[in-house]
Structure 1
């Protein structure tokens, strides 16, 4: 739960209220601070409420709520964001207010940086890379190696230094209302730190200029990219709330093909990997994306972590991984899945449980087009579990697990080894989710 001492100190300086309108908009998921002078909600000091998902466990998630004036920043450019984040090892509480859209592909002076700029001086060229690793010549039994692969990796490293933003512990990164706040082309990396809040931000166009060819990935090989819009790696106590994620403006339909495979420049939207733990993802909008959310980076992740709650999110135009879960205890409730094809993104499945993951999926709503198969809403490897209840498909209560198992050779287990208790805000009927979540999720709705 939120730190009691901090909440007491806030009461001595401000009036605390939770209005009915705030709750309807999802703001009731945290402490609502009303500025006594301006009469406006202070989003920047809000903390995750008690019992609001796994991130409220233990000491809770307070982010940078205790930041002093020296560690409170308003940023509008990439250079300002880098300066405000400071060192990834600095644990002093900080609040970063993002005003407007920050283009990650700019230099310190604000000038646009292109893929050609990242490649300059490395010796990399796509045409040379394609010639060097053509499966007809190079084969399909091993990853690329040699001069062009080294050059590709060097160019990718240059891009990473520019677009990857390391978030330190005890930090809140929050979009300023009314400014179209967000990050274009960048990645927030929350790695091996505790207590981070990310709210009210739009993430778009996170693109890898230099995907790697892997001829061993699947039967035909695949192009794999490196950057998620937000990535958690070994992170704990993270609250991601009221954000929007999209591939736009470059959708996958515009991707080229090489070696007969899509040249995929997008990776995940919000990935939770490397034994991250105690995470709540609430009231976000995920649209126009393929591999959207990965929970657990490999089937061999150690047990006891990867505890994640996903609630009141909208998933629309999502191909897969909404989410893909491994190993952990994952609670998925009150989400709205629209699996009609959008902008060329056709759903393969929504929830995948594998590697002994223990998923509780309850009171979610799926909109399925005419001819769509309920059996394809879930997926698994035969070792994962999904305990489902109260889920609706086109307004009708449906046992989505039974539907999947009736058609699958690798069946999902239907019992789990845990019972969710951190369920503040759980609605026991999903029937109104398509309507209520339409105006209360994503960036820009918090005021």
Structure 2
């Protein structure tokens, strides 16, 4: 059994064809004027929680002067940032934009961000448990680490304002080393982009995190915080040239330079995450980032459908408080990072249906779900494929979990019914999903 990290945190179904479920429709007027223009497409009615409320249209109504093509970090930041009038705008990314690049095009290294005398070598020597013990790091060197982290944050963080569509021009469009934040915004669409390797040069050592301590980092590829009506569709999320499997270990723990691929937190609401490829990250996605943030109650309503969760370690997703519908996703469970896929946290209301779990490396069905302080999880129509067998078999996710973890047993009470659902496909139809997800396929 793998060691788990300790806790950190239909009123009416709309029936559409399977083809319609794979591609969002433009608004009626857009169909007439932009029949193939993905920059003007909007989230279809009934397509997950993101279609509730006022719906998610992003910048689809942007005037011509508010359609901007960007190729540098400075252009990106200026184009997508919050502004007073919240006019709709469409921002098209051309090629690769690297957050760790200076305005003159030169690369910025971790050493360039370091201030107040910080060096990794000194940090490791000073706070090694054999020297420092198991108390929290403090003093000038820890302060220098935090100050250096702030310098990097100022460079790589990009905030997205309301009524914005951010879209890749083609399959080469990529944001790497950038911490993209949809923060206190409304009506945002993110599509057809690769979000890669938002690495933290200055991870902090927490000797009290877990049984043996952990390194914790600051930046997500995307963070959605305090925002409403967001659609994240046909993107690829990965670690680029810094995969977690190749990071070193210090003090007996992996020197983790990444936080999450996509976190949705702090009273965010009405979000649809569809047709994305999430690749080989340990802590992939969290919904609600604290058991104590009770203001999240009534928020965090999110739909995940037709995504490929590929070689992730944990949190795909882990849920607190929210009403979260996870359906028709393909999970490839493999590798040394793996701990669990679906996490049922405090007051979580998680419905998982018709997902496929492709099991490798001896991972068993009981390891798909883990109870992080939740009470119930509704699971139906899910299936597993065991390595080498070549066929699917149905699985009761809750029963398998409860057999493996009887002291953390989950119930199956259904307290809400997913409303905004175009069509839940038969589970067998999900087997070919990995060929249809990610950036460059619109």
* Paired position in structure 2 for 1:5: none
Shift of 1:277: 1.0
CA deviations over 1:334-389 (Å, ceiling 9, x no partner): 00011133xxx542111001102010000111111374310000001343421011
Report whether the alignment pairs 1:317 with 2:315: no
CA distance in structure 2 between the partners assigned to 1:138 and 1:90 by the alignment: 52
Does the aligned pair in 2 maintain the 1:63–1:195 contact within 8 Å?
yes
* Paired position in structure 2 for 1:140: 134
**1:85 counterpart (76, 80, 85):** 80
Shift of 1:109: 2.2
* Paired position in structure 2 for 1:412: 410
* Paired position in structure 1 for 2:398: 401
Report whether the alignment pairs 1:239 with 2:214: no
* Paired position in structure 1 for 2:149: 156
Q: 1:366 to 1:136 in 2, by over 3 A?
A: same
Secondary structure (helix, strand or coil) at the match of 2:91 reads strand
Report whether the alignment pairs 1:23 with 2:2: no
Does the aligned pair in 1 maintain the 2:245–2:337 contact within 8 Å?
no
Does the aligned pair in 2 maintain the 1:381–1:411 contact within 8 Å?
no
**2:159 counterpart (166, 173, 192):** 166
Report whether the alignment pairs 1:444 with 2:437: no
Shift of 1:296: 0.4
Question: Post-superposition, which runs of at least 4 consecutive aligned residues in structure 1 deviate over 3 A?
Answer: 19-24, 28-36, 86-90
Secondary structure (helix, strand or coil) at the match of 1:189 reads strand
Shift of 1:320: 0.6
Report whether the alignment pairs 1:381 with 2:377: no
CA distance in structure 1 between the partners assigned to 2:242 and 2:251 by the alignment: 21
Report whether the alignment pairs 1:97 with 2:116: no
CA distance in structure 2 between the partners assigned to 1:257 and 1:353 by the alignment: 29
Report whether the alignment pairs 1:423 with 2:421: yes
CA distance in structure 2 between the partners assigned to 1:30 and 1:261 by the alignment: 48
Report whether the alignment pairs 1:74 with 2:65: no
**1:176 counterpart (149, 152, 169):** 169
* Paired position in structure 1 for 2:354: 363
* Paired position in structure 2 for 1:12: none
CA distance in structure 2 between the partners assigned to 1:292 and 1:356 by the alignment: 20
Report whether the alignment pairs 1:327 with 2:321: yes
Report whether the alignment pairs 1:111 with 2:109: no
Q: TM-score, normalised by structure 2?
A: 0.90
Q: 1:279 to 1:74 in 2, by over 3 A?
A: same
* Paired position in structure 2 for 1:203: 195
Does the aligned pair in 2 maintain the 1:355–1:381 contact within 8 Å?
yes
The structure whose RCO (Cα within 8 Å, separation 6+) is larger is: 2
Identify unmatched segments of 5+ residues in structure 1.
1-18
CA distance in structure 2 between the partners assigned to 1:238 and 1:438 by the alignment: 23
* Paired position in structure 1 for 2:282: 290
Shift of 1:87: 3.7
Shift of 1:416: 2.6
Q: 1:388 to 1:21 in 2, by over 3 A?
A: closer
